[in-house]
Amino acid sequence: MKAIILAAGQGTRLRPMTDDRPKAMVEANGRPLLAWQLDVLGRAGIKDIVVVTGYCEEAINIPGLRKCHNPRFQETNMVASLFCAEDELQDDVLIVYGDIVFESPILDAILACKAPLATTIDKDWEDLWRLRMEDPLLDAETLKIDSEGFILELGRKPKSVDEIEGQYMGLIKLTNEGCQTVRRHYNALDRTARYEDRSFDQMFMTSFLQSLIDNGHPLRAVEVAGGWLEFDAPPDLALFKDRLPSLS
Q: What is the pLDDT of residues 41-87, one digit of tens each?
A: 999 999 999 999 999 999 998 888 999 999 999 999 999 999 999 99
Phi, psi torsion values for 177, nearest 5 degrees: -60, -45
Distance of alpha carbon 169 from alpha carbon 166, whole angstroms: 9
Q: What pLDDT does residue 97 have? A: 97
Q: What pLDDT does residue 13 have? A: 83
> Hey, which CATH number is domain 2-247, 3.40.50.720, 2.60.40.3080, 3.90.550.10, 3.40.50.2300?
3.90.550.10
Cα–Cα distance list, 238 to 28, 101, 210 (Å)? 9, 15, 33
Distance of alpha carbon 156 from alpha carbon 91, whole angstroms: 30
Q: Where are the domains of the chain?
A: 2-247
Q: What pLDDT does residue 158 have? A: 93
Mean pLDDT of 79-102: 96
Distance of alpha carbon 170 from alpha carbon 191, whole angstroms: 24
Q: How confident is the model at residue 144 (pLDDT cuts 50, 70, 90)?
A: very high
When computed from its CA atoms, the radius of gyration of the chain, rounded to whole angstroms, is 17
> Do the beta carbons of residue 199 and residue 172 sit within 8 Å?
no
For the whole model, what pTM was predicted?
A: 0.93
Mean pLDDT of 224-237: 87
Q: What is the dihedral of CA 59, 61, 229, 107, to 10 degrees?
A: 150
Q: What pLDDT does residue 246 have? A: 62
Predicted confidence (pLDDT) per residue in 150-205, tens digit: 999 999 999 999 999 999 999 999 999 999 999 999 999 999 999 988 999 999 99
Q: What pLDDT does residue 12 have? A: 85
Q: How confident is the model at residue 235 (pLDDT cuts 50, 70, 90)?
A: confident
The neighbour count for residue 62, using CB atoms within 10 Å, is 13
The neighbour count for residue 216, using CB atoms within 10 Å, is 8
Phi, psi torsion values for 42, nearest 5 degrees: -65, -40
Distance of alpha carbon 165 from alpha carbon 127, whole angstroms: 13
Please report which residue ranges of the chain form alpha helices under DSSP H. 33-43, 78-82, 104-112, 125-132, 176-188, 205-214, 234-239
Question: Looking at the DSSP assignment, which residues form a beta bridge with residue 32?
Answer: 27
Mean pLDDT of 136-154: 94
Q: How far is CA 159 from the centre of its chain?
A: 23
Q: What pLDDT does residue 241 have? A: 74
SS3 call for 7: strand
Q: What is the mean pLDDT of the chain?
A: 92
